[in-house]
Amino acid sequence: MNELKNLEALIDKYDVISFDIFDTLLLRNVLKPIDIFRILEIEVKEKYYINNFCRMRIEAEQNSRTEENHYETSLDEIYDTLSINSKIIKEEIKKMEINLEKEFLTFNPFMKSVYDYAVSKNKKVVCISDMYLPEKIISDILNNNGYEGIKVYVSNEYHKHKGNMTLYELVLEKEKFEKEKWLHIGDNYYSDYEQARKFGISSYHYKNVLSRSKNLGDNLSVASSIIFAISNNAVNNGLEVDYWKKFGIINAAPLYYAFANWVYKNNIDHDNIYFFARDGYIIKKIFDNIKMVENSKIFSSYLYTSRRATQLPILTYEKKTVAVDMLCGVNFQYDKNQKLRTIFECFNLDADKYSEVIKKYGFLSPDDIITIENHIYYRQLISEVYDDFEQKMNEQKELIEKYLIQEKVYEHKKMNAVDIGWRGSIQYALSKISEVELFGYYFCTGQYIYEDILYNTRGFLLNYNKPETISNLIINNMMMFEFIFSSPEGSLVRYEEQDNKVIPVLSENKDYIKEVSIIQDAAINIIDKYLKYYKYTSKIDSEESLLPYKNYLETRDYNDVKMVSTLFTNVGYSGNEFSFINSFTKEEIENNIMNFFEGGIIKSLWEKTFVIEGIDSAEEFNSYMAHIDNKYKKMCKIRFLKRFKPRNVLRVLKRKVKVLIKG
């Protein structure tokens, strides 16, 4: 039975249900309450040129909690203590704080379901809160968030609080409840749970969103606080959420949003931006939503491109020997089953028509597999029929130029393009073919970016492989980043002309992972909430936006690894399916312990991750790996002793002693 059903069953046993408010019925779209003061500081500095307001506000609250008010202060008492001389300005800032609270407070989806259930069962419902905001303001906020007509008891109105049970006593006195029929629900373990029980009523401790969420560090920016809080509030409130939906909201959405926003800010004064298929698919959607919020007139377009369709035609600029070498390049790690037919299909050539020349070089048919052993003959074959390939490449070059005209590229003085990275292959190819000035904005650029476009590129997360603090993580998990940028369309194979219009011909999308649709749809929906606070969230830092996914990749939580191990993708031209995570039997590990631990076996697309067949829990996995780790350490000791026999060690020591004596 899930948490919601458990709580509903508990509510059935009582007549009176009281709720805590903040972090229970209501959630703030910031990670910590103090972040409201940090946002207020930005507003106060802009309007009144007052610095360090956040610190002033915290100190004022501390100073306002006195023995006279039983340490239960009100907003008025806080602002009376605030060290600003002008009463008018203090009143204005107080209104600003109230408005920010209204703007950033939202209902808790989990607790809204609990509250609705209690109301539907005709339970008597009240709210009890230790808070400095006025009771009227809190009631208005509750009403605006779907908790209509609920009676509210707030500590500062009575100078009583839950921590010493005096606020519970007051509610009991005014409402005449029976303690044995009263259940209190709240997130503070001490005041909402322990003290409620001590007072003699039943209580339920609700684990709040922050306690269910991963800590991504202190000193995060205001932008990150808002973005991560919105994501956490959506999926860590207690309701059950689909795994991939949660992945999209927590890990992918901040990265998508920060990248799209970075692209927007870098092109705010430009008249065009083109998003290359397919990695630009999701980013264009988010970019266009930012455009709407900002009422921007930048022309944005989705351009059908691919490395295969654009890079092959530019081989005509190379000498024949170089072009043939590049055509015949095979990555035998990923293209283990690449057929001869594949290369002909890339150029829209019928491989069967070349059967005779194929047999001439020792192949039986176009469906023979290219191997390391026959690769030299494969190269000779391609060299002989190269003229046919070159003709097709020239045809594609002409169609690319027509396509760029069709897509209005030449109407702009400079073309601005967006892609994931890493070398800028498509930008390099289009620049060569069209001779248009093209500037590329990339998710990441590596150190091997084409020299010809080096100064016409910029990277969001990595710029020429910098900063080094995150470069290894990204490079070693490149396919895990490619995964989240996938699109539902097939990749561009070539261009064709129909009725004087250039048509992109797409492959059957065998490499699309259906889970990506769930991830991206969830991300788009949560990003709409980020955009509500665009003034603040637009300042999101690239490295901070990576934090949730970085944590995910580095933690390698057992359940995450199991979920990703079900995913497969196509790498290379051969269409081979590869699992993101390798699977091993216990026998394979036991027989290759040294190789396993020293990197010879673990080569997953998600770095250093693997699953073991027959193991279905984190506890069992950790126990087995501890057993294997002990065996590995023993083998290391044996290897060390074999390498350094006692007499050899003695000989070395004697030699060192002689050197010291001579010295």
Q: What is the 3-state secondary structure (H, E, C) of 489-537?
A: CCCEEEEEEECCEEEEEECCCCCCCCHHHHHHHHHHHHHHHHHCCHHHH
Determine the 3-state secondary structure of 656 from DSSP.
helix
Whether 45 and 127 share a structural domain: yes
Whether 53 and 150 share a structural domain: yes
Structural domain includes residue 527: yes
For residues 526 and 286, is the Cβ–Cβ distance under 8 A?
no
- Residue pLDDT, tens place only, 86-137: 999 999 999 999 999 999 999 999 999 999 999 999 999 999 999 999 999 9
Of 365, 430, 362, 428, nearest to 401 by C-alpha is 430
Whether 8 and 111 share a structural domain: yes
For residues 580 and 574, is the Cβ–Cβ distance under 8 A?
no
Question: Domain total for the chain?
Answer: 4
Q: What is the pLDDT of residue 593?
A: 84
The string of DSSP letters for 431-448 reads HHHH---EEEEEEE--TT
Structural domain includes residue 657: no
End-to-end CA gap in the chain: 78
Structural domain includes residue 619: yes
Question: Which of the 8 DSSP states describes residue 370?
Answer: P
d(C-alpha 496, C-alpha 503), whole Å = 5
Report the amino acid identity of residue 252: A
Whether 457 and 489 share a structural domain: yes
Q: What is the pLDDT of residue 636?
A: 80
Tell me the two tokens of residue 49: 């040129």
Whether 84 and 113 share a structural domain: yes
Whether 416 and 277 share a structural domain: yes
Whether 444 and 370 share a structural domain: no
Whether 390 and 404 share a structural domain: no
Last residue of a domain, one of 193, 212, 231: 212
Query: Which phi and psi (to 5°) does residue 400 adopt?
Result: -60, -45
- Residue pLDDT, tens place only, 333-378: 666 778 899 889 888 899 999 999 999 999 999 999 999 999 999 9
CA distances from 343 to 108, 329, 509, 518 (A): 56, 11, 18, 34
Q: List the domain range (segments joined by +) for residue 180.
A: 3-212
Structural domain includes residue 218: no
Q: What is the pLDDT of residue 579?
A: 82
Q: Looking up tokens 């009582």, which residue turns up? A: 14
What proportions of the chain, in percent to the nearest 5, are helix, strand and coil?
A: 55, 15, 30
d(C-alpha 358, C-alpha 364), whole Å = 7
Structural domain includes residue 202: yes
CA distances from 220 to 229, 237, 544 (A): 12, 21, 8
R_g over Cα of the chain: 32
How many Å separate Cα 198 from the centre of its chain? Answer: 44
d(C-alpha 230, C-alpha 222), whole Å = 12
Burial 545-561 (b: 16+ CB within 10 A, else e): bbbbbbbbbeeeebebb
CATH of the domain at 497: 3.40.50
Last residue of a domain, one of 212, 237, 260: 212
For residues 111 and 237, is the Cβ–Cβ distance under 8 A?
yes
CATH of the domain at 179: 3.40.50.1000
Q: Looking up tokens 């393009």, which residue turns up? A: 417
Pairing of strands 124-129, 151-154: parallel
Structural domain includes residue 225: no
Q: What is the pLDDT of residue 600?
A: 56
The residue ranges of the chain whose pLDDT is under 50 are: 663
The string of DSSP letters for 586-605 reads HHHHHHTHHHHHTTSS---S
How many Å separate Cα 262 from the centre of its chain? Answer: 15
Task: Output the pTM of the full model.
Answer: 0.91
d(C-alpha 300, C-alpha 314), whole Å = 26
Whether 118 and 105 share a structural domain: yes
Whether 40 and 166 share a structural domain: yes
Whether 47 and 25 share a structural domain: yes
Last residue of a domain, one of 344, 379, 395: 395
Whether 162 and 90 share a structural domain: yes
Size of the chain, expressed as the number of residues it contains: 663
Q: What is the pLDDT of residue 663?
A: 47
Q: What is the pLDDT of residue 584?
A: 87
Determine the 3-state secondary structure of 451 from DSSP.
helix
Structural domain includes residue 545: no
Structural domain includes residue 217: no
The string of DSSP letters for 235-262 reads HSSSS---HHHHHIIIIIHHHHHHHHHH
Q: Looking up tokens 């560090």, which residue turns up? A: 217
Q: What is the 3-state secondary structure (H, E, C) of 160-221?
A: CCHHHCHHHHHHHHHHCCCHHHEEEEECCHHHHHHHHHHHCCEEEECCCHHHHCCCCCCCCC
